[in-house]
């Protein structure tokens, strides 16, 4: 054991921490750096041998080309934005009453429905989408925003109900009781007292639903066939791993543009999601 | 919970409100989760075609017999899924834990470094895949150049043309993508670790390793178990990274259950057969969950 006891050798300990930290950070950070660096290179320099670590002829031409909608970037972004925002709104509105019911109303069958909601989070997207495709063909929902919004709720809704239930649980039931004495029914309690108290949580869940919809590949790829209906993930996949595989510069400029909002949203949300998940883990 | 059989007017009204509040959620989930699942179960007994309107002939357990006895790709897919899942979870756990430990102490630029460490997790899956294709490119990829200048390889590896190399490249990319999740959760857990315990262990003369094993690990056990369960399920179901890079190739080397199911449904249009694969896959997930819940309950009682 003595050999590992680095406490008595603070310098060695610090050096070891430093090396581990540096290696891990290099591993975690380098690809992001490489994405940004490559997005600033003229396309032929993206093929340079050996690769240029820092672009020698840095340019924003790739970004300009994306914003001029070469390769359909703006179309994909518009579709993705609309579908994701609609999904976020529907998800939050539908999961508010459900989350409240789980947290505050005693009812028969609660356990069974809880299991149902948790289980529905586990089903693989691929399994759902193969049969959703046939259903959508019959219902004429392929290549529609409505179809995508609905399909995205299959993963956003169970998660949202669960998170929102957690936020409502932080409100003591005495608050409900007091409101009932004043003659409020459950709906009035929810709308006038419950919702205003959990607004930050609702915002976090909405943003998270947006993020997951914005990033979703499987449903967006399988349930749309027209190029004009594609969102970012299938749009990029079919453009850059098919038709224009050699356009690395454009591809990474697009990637940076797409990643920026997700990073911004995530930084804003981090605290909520972590506290929710960790609390769940501690409570079991 | 009101006592059974005795329903006061208030509990009846609660029952009605609960039903109304849950109805929209259950209606949507019925349409987009439970109906599709029921279709999958029913179709696994038929030779349905994805593009035909009719549901196909009833073939009993024919699809399953073919899958388990004749299909040569299926065992490969199961094996690859397990290898991909296990190595991704272990890799992301080790790197994420190391980062969390290193960044929980006093380190210059800590806030900034923590922020950076989270980025890979937020990058959309498709972009992770595109980046992987570029960095592991056989001719101009930075990975080959780096390995060669470190003296680890002599000739460039055509990553996506060699069977073992392709799966390894995808695991590395996946570990990169998921490390932040472990990092974030373990860091949050480390911050709730009671200082007194660590100090007490120090007083008893416990070194870094002993303190880690006897104080830190038990404290984080609950979090580790939950996130490992989530990660196993997510990786078992991974689609984006593999589909957007190799689509299961070369020669089925990166074929997993999700990719195989998808190919059977959307490329071969063998809907019935793909649902049979799904059923076996879901049974695997179910078995894992039951086993895992047992282990968790056992460890809590101990």
Residue A251 above 70 pLDDT?
yes
Which residues 134-173 on chain B approach chain A with CB closer than 8 angstroms?
A: 134-135, 139-140, 142, 145
| Beta carbons of B102 and A21 less than 8 Å apart | yes
Between A109 and A71, residue with greater pLDDT: A109
A204, B127, B185 from A190: Cα distances, Å: 19, 41, 32
pLDDT of residue B195: 78
Residue A229 above 90 pLDDT?
yes
DSSP code string of A166-195: HHHHTS-HHHHHHHHHTT--HHHIIIIIIH
Supply B217's token pair.
């690990």
Give every CB contact of residue A271 below 8 A, 6+ residues apart in sequence: none
B234, B281, B289 from B79: Cα distances, Å: 16, 12, 19
pLDDT of residue B190: 86
C-beta separation of A281 from B227 below 8 A: yes
pLDDT of residue A23: 87
pLDDT single digits (tens) B216-274: 888 888 888 888 988 999 999 999 999 999 999 899 999 999 999 999 999 999 999 99
C-beta separation of A29 from B116 below 8 A: yes
Least confident of A61-70, A254-263, A268-277, B14-23: A268-277
| Distance in angstroms (rounded) separating the CA atoms of residues B80 and B75 | 9
pLDDT of residue A276: 59
Residue A278: pLDDT band (50, 70, 90) is low
C-beta separation of B262 from B243 below 8 A: yes
Between A277 and B73, residue with greater pLDDT: B73
Supply the range of the domain harboring residue B156: 74-301
Nearest in space to B107 (alpha carbons), one of A237, A13, A81, A148: A13
Packing angle, helices B163-191 and B73-104, rounded to 10: 40
A38, A64, A164, B140 from A59: Cα distances, Å: 10, 10, 45, 20
pLDDT of residue A160: 93
Residue A5 above 60 pLDDT?
no
Query: Do the domain assignments include residue B84?
Result: yes
Contact residues on chain B for A274, CB-CB shorter than 8 A: 184-185, 188
Of B14, B105, B176, the CB nearest to A28: B176
DSSP state of A228: G
Least confident of A172-181, B98-107, B166-175, B249-258: B98-107
Give every CB contact of residue B72 below 8 A, 6+ residues apart in sequence: none
Residue A257 above 90 pLDDT?
yes
pLDDT single digits (tens) A106-155: 999 999 999 899 888 889 999 999 999 999 999 999 999 999 999 999 99
Of A35, A263, A275, the CB nearest to B131: A35
pLDDT single digits (tens) A167-208: 898 888 888 888 988 889 999 999 998 999 888 889 888 988
pLDDT of residue B261: 97
Query: Do the domain assignments include residue B287?
Result: yes
pTM of the model: 0.89
pLDDT single digits (tens) B184-218: 888 888 887 777 887 888 888 877 788 888 888 88
Please report the domains of chain A, with CATH numbers, ordered by start residue: 2-62 (no CATH), 64-283 (1.10.3720.10)
Query: Do the domain assignments include residue B6?
Result: no
| Distance in angstroms (rounded) separating the CA atoms of residues A212 and A269 | 13
Query: Do the domain assignments include residue B265?
Result: yes
| Distance in angstroms (rounded) separating the CA atoms of residues B290 and B280 | 15
Contact residues on chain A for B99, CB-CB shorter than 8 A: 21, 24-25, 28
Helix (H, G, I), strand (E, B) or coil at A160: helix
C-beta separation of A97 from B5 below 8 A: no
Residue B105: pLDDT band (50, 70, 90) is confident
Phi and psi at A195, nearest 5°, equal -55, -45
Question: Is B7's Cβ below 8 Å from some Cβ in A?
Answer: no
pLDDT of residue B52: 80
Q: What is the mean pLDDT of residues A15-20?
A: 80
Residue B302: pLDDT band (50, 70, 90) is low
pLDDT single digits (tens) B9-43: 778 889 999 999 999 999 999 999 999 999 999 99
Contact residues on chain B for A217, CB-CB shorter than 8 A: 125-126, 239-240, 243-244
| Distance in angstroms (rounded) separating the CA atoms of residues B233 and B231 | 5
A226, B7, B282 from B37: Cα distances, Å: 26, 35, 10
User: Using alpha carbons only, what angle is made at residue B293 by residues B288 and B297, rounded to the nearest 5 degrees?
Assistant: 150
Residue B88: pLDDT band (50, 70, 90) is very high
| Distance in angstroms (rounded) separating the CA atoms of residues B236 and B222 | 21
Contact residues on chain B for A17, CB-CB shorter than 8 A: 102, 105
Query: Do the domain assignments include residue B166?
Result: yes
pLDDT of residue B134: 92
Element (H, E) at A22: helix A10-39
| Distance in angstroms (rounded) separating the CA atoms of residues A178 and A191 | 15
* H-only helix segments in A105-242: 110-120, 125-139, 145-169, 173-181, 186-188, 195-197, 199-215, 218-222, 232-238
Query: Do the domain assignments include residue B201?
Result: yes
A147, A191, B48, B59, B274 from B74: Cα distances, Å: 32, 52, 19, 20, 11
pLDDT of residue A275: 62
C-beta separation of B182 from B227 below 8 A: yes
Phi and psi at B58, nearest 5°, equal -80, 125
Packing angle, helices B73-104 and B217-236, rounded to 10: 150
Instruction: Please provide the average confidence, as pLDDT, over all residues in chain A.
Output: 87
Residue A31 above 50 pLDDT?
yes
pLDDT of residue B200: 84
- Residue of B4, B8, B92, B127 to mutate, interface with A, max A Cβ within 10 Å: B127
**Hunting for tokens 């409502």 — which residue is that?**
A168
| Distance in angstroms (rounded) separating the CA atoms of residues A129 and A154 | 10
Q: What is the mean pLDDT of residues B95-99?
A: 91
Residue B87: pLDDT band (50, 70, 90) is very high
Supply B301's token pair.
């009682």
Check which CATH number belongs to the domain holding B292 and give it.
1.10.3720.10
Q: Percentage of chain B with pLDDT > 90? A: 59
User: Using alpha carbons only, what angle is made at residue B252 by residues A225 and B67, rounded to the nearest 5 degrees?
Assistant: 85
CA B232 from centre of chain: 4
Query: Do the domain assignments include residue B21?
Result: no
Q: In this structure, how many other beta carbons lie within 10 angstroms of the beta carbon of residue A128?
A: 26
Task: Determine the distance in angstroms separating the CA of A118 from the nearest CA of chain B, rounded to an integer.
Answer: 12
Write the secondary structure of chain B as one string of H (helix), E (strand) and C (coil). CCCCCCCCHHHHHHHHHHHHHHHHHHHHHHHHHHHHHHHHHHHCCECCCCCCCCCCCECCCHHHHHHHHHCCHHHHHHHHHHHHHHHHHHHHHHHHHHHHHHHHCCCCCHHHHHHHHHHHHHCCHHHHHHHHHHHCCCCCCHHHHHHHHCCCCCCCCCHHHCHHHHHHHHHHHHHHHHHHHHHHHHHHHHHCCCHHHHHHHHHCCCCHHHHHHHHHHHHHHHHHHHHHHHHHHHHHCCCHHHHHHCCCCCCCCCCCHHHHHHHHHHHCCCHHHHHHHHHHHHHHHHHHHHHHHHHHHHHHHC
Identify the sign of the CA torsion A122, A124, A129, A131. Answer: negative
Residue B300: pLDDT band (50, 70, 90) is low
Query: Do the domain assignments include residue B20?
Result: no
| Beta carbons of B176 and A27 less than 8 Å apart | yes
Number of domains in chain B: 1
pLDDT of residue A52: 87
| Distance in angstroms (rounded) separating the CA atoms of residues A261 and A210 | 11
Instruction: Please provide the average confidence, as pLDDT, over all residues in chain B.
Output: 89
Least confident of A8-22, A209-223, B146-160: A8-22
Contact residues on chain A for B227, CB-CB shorter than 8 A: 277, 281
- Residue of B118, B122, B287 to mutate, interface with A, max A Cβ within 10 Å: B122
Residue A8 above 80 pLDDT?
no
């Amino acid at each position: 054991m003595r050999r590992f006891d680095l406490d008595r050798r603070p310098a060695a300990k610090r050096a070891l921490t430093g090396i581990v930290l540096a290696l891990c950070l290099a591993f975690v950070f380098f690809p992001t750096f490489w994405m940004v660096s490559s997005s600033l290179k003229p396309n032929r320099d993206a093929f340079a041998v050996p690769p240029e670590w820092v672009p020698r002829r840095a340019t924003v031409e790739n970004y300009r080309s994306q914003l001029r909608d070469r390769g359909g970037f703006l179309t994909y972004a518009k579709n993705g934005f609309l579908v994701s925002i609609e999904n976020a709104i529907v998800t939050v509105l539908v999961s508010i009453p459900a989350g409240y019911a789980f947290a505050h109303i005693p009812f028969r069958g609660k356990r069974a429905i809880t299991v149902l909601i948790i289980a529905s989070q586990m089903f693989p997207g691929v399994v759902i989408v193969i049969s959703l495709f046939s259903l959508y063909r019959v219902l004429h929902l392929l290549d529609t925003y409505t179809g995508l919004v609905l399909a995205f709720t299959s993963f956003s809704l169970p998660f949202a109900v669960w998170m929102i239930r957690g936020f409502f649980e932080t409100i003591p039931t005495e608050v409900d009781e007091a409101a009932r004495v004043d003659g409020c029914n459950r709906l009035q309690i929810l709308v006038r007292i419950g919702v205003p108290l959990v607004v930050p949580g609702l915002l976090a869940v909405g943003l998270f639903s947006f993020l997951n919809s914005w990033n979703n590949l499987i449903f967006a790829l399988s349930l749309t066939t027209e190029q004009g209906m594609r969102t970012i993930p299938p749009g990029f996949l079919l453009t850059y791993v098919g038709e224009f595989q050699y356009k690395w510069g454009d591809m990474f400029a697009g990637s940076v543009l797409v990643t920026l909002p997700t990073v911004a949203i995530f930084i804003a949300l981090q605290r909520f999601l972590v506290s929710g998940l960790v609390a769940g883990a501690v409570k079991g | 919970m009101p006592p059974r059989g005795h329903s006061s007017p208030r509990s009846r009204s609660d029952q009605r409100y609960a039903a109304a509040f849950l109805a929209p959620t259950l209606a949507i989930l019925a349409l987009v989760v439970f109906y599709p699942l029921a279709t999958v179960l029913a179709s696994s007994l038929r030779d349905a075609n994805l593009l035909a309107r009719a549901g196909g002939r009833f073939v009993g357990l024919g699809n399953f017999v073919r899958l388990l006895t004749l299909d040569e790709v299926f065992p490969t897919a199961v094996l690859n899924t397990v290898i991909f899942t296990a190595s991704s979870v272990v890799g992301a756990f080790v790197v994420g834990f190391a980062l969390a430990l290193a960044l929980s102490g006093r380190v210059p630029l800590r806030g900034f470094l923590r922020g950076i460490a989270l980025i890979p997790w937020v990058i959309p899956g498709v972009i992770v895949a595109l980046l992987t294709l570029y960095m592991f490119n056989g001719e101009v990829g930075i990975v080959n150049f780096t390995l060669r200048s470190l003296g680890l390889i002599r000739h460039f590896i055509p990553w996506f043309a060699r069977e073992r190399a392709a799966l390894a490249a995808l695991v590395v990319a996946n570990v990169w993508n998921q490390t932040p999740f472990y990092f974030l959760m373990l860091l949050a857990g480390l911050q709730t670790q009671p200082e007194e315990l660590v100090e007490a262990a120090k007083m008893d003369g416990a070194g870094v390793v002993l303190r880690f094993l006897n104080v830190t690990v038990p404290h984080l056990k609950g979090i580790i178990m939950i996130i490992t369960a989530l990660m196993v399920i997510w990786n078992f179901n991974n689609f984006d990274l593999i589909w957007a890079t190799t689509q299961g190739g070369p020669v089925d080397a990166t074929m997993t259950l999700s990719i195989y199911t998808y190919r059977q449904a959307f490329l071969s249009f063998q809907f019935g057969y793909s649902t049979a694969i799904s059923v076996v896959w879901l049974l695997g997930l179910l078995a894992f969950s039951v086993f895992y819940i047992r282990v968790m309950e056992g460890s809590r009682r101990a």
